[in-house]
Structure 1
């Protein structure tokens, strides 16, 4: 448990420093550690909520969250995340989807981040609420927040400036994680939730510490590009490891 908690702390530190929660990597680490796959979404979504709640609040206080557009994206994705959390899925399918998501996530982090100036949105930027729906379902299915999928689409569509996109992704992760967790709880029942809480308390403490450290490093010390590349390397490595054990 000590090694797993340390890995969660590092993961939260890296992901929080680039504005994400880290749910996909938490799930993969638990899977590689031999934890019952039915507990993984509950634990990962709870850790996500701990990490991104602070980020969402900081963005709101800085007044960079585009509330109307961000809430529209979130409102279309959240019910789909709830349905994803309710959907039964076998262990091999779960791990296969998760591994592929991690590899794609790592590749998306390698893409250069756009500068914060607002460029003219692409014509298909208005379709983002529709794009958000399947992303929300996928997030709920495998127990992640989904912001790591949404952000690359928003950047490619030149949806808004970089800080507004980061704030939107943080809110998207928080709300999807809450709805996905509700679906997972209904699917698994009180017994599975109790088992997840008993096992996961040290992990929640670890990600709370890691999330705060990540925010501090991003603000004061490490260049954002180094952090993104480190996060991409970790995510891709874990995803490949997960796919190789299938």
Structure 2
């Protein structure tokens, strides 16, 4: 049971993560999982909590980046077509807690590595992915999304940038909706497996929504994101190492 002071710090951490992640079009699932791990919340609560907060923040980020004119349906649809059903399957599956902690720890460390090398690529020539390639990538990310509670965008947007499949803010817009649809599918799969949503979810959701509004509005327009993304990678690395070795 957390003390009132610890609850306040937990809410402040969720609020901060939502600002940072939504500024680059992400829902923040990996960050929320990192915060829950740092506060020693039971691992069984990670996935449903992260998915709930992801849905809230990703919806806000999707709206903000689309309103700013950064969304491309042509780039989005192949990834989403295969990711949604695979995310539902992943959300339905139950992983033993000790295995789950190791898996999520590796996901967090991988996320940290991706964020370290996240850079702007607005000036580079863009080469759209072939549809079959995008379909396969979407399926893999969707399964991983539902299984771990991570919306998938934490991997998709760096992938879009590193492979020159999309520009920075365009990648953020694509990632936001990708996270939203996969988080919904993953949560439905999670509910169907009769696992309960944690009781402290509503307070965390409120903190995440407020942070998501602030981060996505500035991130979709004028807020520089390179520095905060690199700083956030350190938080993910610490949380991932905690899950793997503590």
Common fold, TM-score beyond 0.5?
Answer: yes
Worse-matched range after superposition: 61-70 or 118-127:
118-127
Cα distance in 2 for partners of 1:109, 1:87 equals 28
- The 8 Å contact of residues 117 and 162 in structure 1, kept in 2 or not, is answered as no
Cα distance 1:153–1:126, how it changes in 2: closer, same or farther (>3 A)? farther
SS in 2 for 1:99: helix
Cα distance in 1 for partners of 2:220, 2:31 equals 23
Matched, 1:84 2:90: yes
Paired position in structure 2 for 1:115:
121
Worse-matched range after superposition: 67-76 or 81-90:
67-76
Please list, as runs of the form range in 1=range in 2, the aligned pairs for 1:13-52 lying within 5 A after superposition.
Answer: 13-52=19-58
SS in 2 for 1:188: coil
Pick one of 146, 152, 164 that aligns with 1:146: 152
Pick one of 143, 168, 174 that aligns with 1:137: 143
Cα deviations by residue, 1:164-200 (Å, 9 ceiling, x for unpaired)? 21111111100000000000111125xx13xx2x321
- Displacement of 1:119 after TM fit? 1.2
Cα distance in 2 for partners of 1:221, 1:165 equals 16
- Displacement of 1:221 after TM fit? 7.3
Cα distance in 2 for partners of 1:40, 1:68 equals 33
- The 8 Å contact of residues 125 and 154 in structure 1, kept in 2 or not, is answered as no
Cα distance in 1 for partners of 2:117, 2:212 equals 23
Please list, as runs of the form range in 1=range in 2, the aligned pairs for 1:1-246 lying within 5 A after superposition.
Answer: 1-117=7-123, 119-121=125-127, 127-189=133-195, 192-193=196-197, 196=198, 198-218=199-219, 223-245=224-246
How many residue pairs get matched?
240
- The 8 Å contact of residues 23 and 223 in structure 2, kept in 1 or not, is answered as no
Structure 1 regions of 5+ residues with no counterpart? Answer: none
Cα distance in 2 for partners of 1:136, 1:112 equals 21
Cα deviations by residue, 1:202-225 (Å, 9 ceiling, x for unpaired)? 101111111122235546775322
- Displacement of 1:117 after TM fit? 4.0
- The 8 Å contact of residues 125 and 158 in structure 1, kept in 2 or not, is answered as no
Structure 2 regions of 5+ residues with no counterpart? Answer: 1-6
Worse-matched range after superposition: 111-120 or 62-71:
111-120
Cα deviations by residue, 1:134-177 (Å, 9 ceiling, x for unpaired)? 11101101111010111222222211222221111111100000
Cα deviations by residue, 1:103-136 (Å, 9 ceiling, x for unpaired)? 1111111114232246142776851221121111
